[in-house]
Structure formats: structure tokens, C-alpha cells
Amino acid sequence: MPGVPAFILRRLYVKTSLANTSTGWEFTLKNTLGSGYAHGLLPLRVDDAREIPMEHASFDSDDGQVSFDRVSKANTFGLQMNRSIVISVAGEQLSAGAHKIEFSFIVPGLGKLGFDFTDDVASG
């Protein structure tokens, strides 16, 4: 079964949302493609080199922050239509300038999907 091309999935990323926080960094996804869910998340990758440990990446949900390593068939990563979700990474902040972030996930019936985006760290 064919997957969804990365250039379409890349539209999930909210441009200029990549920003440092007091505890690390974050970015925002907004689903304008159609509701869906993943039963697995893969480690984020930064600048083609650094892999973020699964327990350091999380997303906000109705039940609070959920670590990437807690996502499973019983505890899915949902992305409802027209809703935003913040992906947070605990640890070191990103240096000034542009960074390439890779985000991959496992979707029932489609397998591994993913996309990357490059953006400058927002100031503020």
C-alpha cells in the first residue's frame, strides 16, 4: 500500500514555530490534512546527525505531556483535524540559525511515514 509523500506531510509543520524554551526546544504541528493517528513514534533527528532519545521528546495531549516512548497501539499519537499540537524536547537548546528536524511515525495500514523541515530557531 502506498504511503503519504513527505512533501504533503511537511504541511503539518507550522512555519517559524521552531523555538528554544527554558527546558529545551519545541515546534508545532497543525493538522489540515485529515484526522489520523500513529501507534508508534520514532526518535526525532536533528541536522542529519543527532538522534533525540525517545524519553526526551513529548507532545501535549488532553491527559498532559506524553513521552514518545509511551506511544503504542493502546496509547496512540492522535492528530485531529484543524488542531495544533506542540512537540517538546527536553535537554539542550538549539543553537542560533537553521536546523533540519526529521519526524517519523508508524501509522496502521500505511507503515512508517515521515517528513523533515528546515527552519530557523525563533527568537523570544
CA 33 to chain centroid, in Å, comes to: 15
pLDDT of residue 91: 93
User: CA angle 45-70-48, nearest 5°?
Assistant: 5
| Residue 33 half-sphere exposure toward CB, CA atoms < 13 A | 18
- The Cα-based distances of 86 to 3, 12, 46, 110 in angstroms read 24, 11, 17, 24
Position 33 confidence tier, pLDDT thresholds 50, 70, 90: confident
- State the DSSP code for 16: T
The more confident residue out of 34 and 102 is 102
pLDDT tens, position by position, 77-121: 988 888 899 999 999 999 999 999 999 999 998 889 999 999 999
The more confident residue out of 75 and 44 is 44
Domain 6-119: give its CATH architecture. Sandwich (2.60)
pLDDT tens, position by position, 54-79: 999 999 877 788 999 999 999 889 88
What is the value of pTM for the model shown?
Answer: 0.91
The more confident residue out of 36 and 50 is 50
Domain residue limits, the chain: 6-119
Cell of 92: 539542550
pLDDT of residue 1: 45
